[in-house]
């Protein structure tokens, strides 16, 4: 079951590039939060998606929103991917798969790999309530970038 609009950000612990635990439900409190789930670092569609958000960060910064990307890759992989692509917002590791299960965005299988993050985007308000959600029909589908930005501006 996935998270619905109006639900609070679910409890899940993810890890930053320094292996420090991050309580996702508390992470965005006090500011809008854009949560981007993606199947895997160093893949073409994921790279395009995360770089598109990187190139749009001025608009998110203008309204005080925090953007985070989450996959089941290790924190080391996330750090290397962020460095290679000059991604200046946090990429968080859900290596233990808590967040993808809590949000209901488990991609059961992709080319033999089990339980990756299904591509999805969630926008939460400053109180931690989900105000907009999108889940891809397939891993090759990119998020509706303009709709994500509009959802953040509407907060």
Nearest-5° angle of CA 86, CA 117, CA 80?
25
Distance between CA 152 and CA 126 in Å, rounded?
11
Contact yes or no for 121/36 (Cβ under 8 A): yes
SS3 of 90, please?
coil
Residue 133's Cβ-side half-sphere holds a number of Cα atoms within 13 Å equal to 16
* Catalytic member of 22, 35, 46, 121: 46
The verdict on whether 46 is a catalytic residue reads yes
Dihedral sign computed on CA atoms, order 14, 46, 82, 150: negative
Q: In the 3-class helix/strand/coil scheme, how is 16-53 assigned residue by residue?
A: CCCCCEEEHHHHCCCCCEEEEECCCCCCHHHHHHHHHH
> What residues act catalytically?
46
């Amino acid at each position: 079951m996935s998270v619905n609009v109006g639900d609070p950000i679910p409890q899940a612990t993810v890890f930053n590039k320094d292996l420090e635990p991050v309580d996702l439900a508390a992470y965005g409190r006090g500011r809008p939060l854009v949560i981007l789930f993606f199947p895997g670092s160093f893949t073409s569609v994921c790279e395009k998606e995360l770089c598109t958000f990187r190139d749009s960060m001025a608009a998110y910064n203008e309204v005080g929103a925090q953007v985070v990307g989450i996959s089941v890759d290790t924190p080391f992989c996330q750090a290397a991917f962020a460095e290679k692509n000059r991604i200046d917002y946090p990429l968080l590791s859900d290596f233990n798969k808590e967040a993808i299960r809590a949000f209901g965005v488990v991609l059961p299988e992709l080319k033999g790999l089990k339980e990756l993050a299904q591509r999805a985007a969630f926008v939460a308000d400053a109180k931690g309530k989900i105000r907009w959600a999108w889940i891809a029909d397939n891993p090759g589908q990119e998020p509706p970038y303009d709709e994500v930005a509009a959802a953040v501006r509407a907060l």
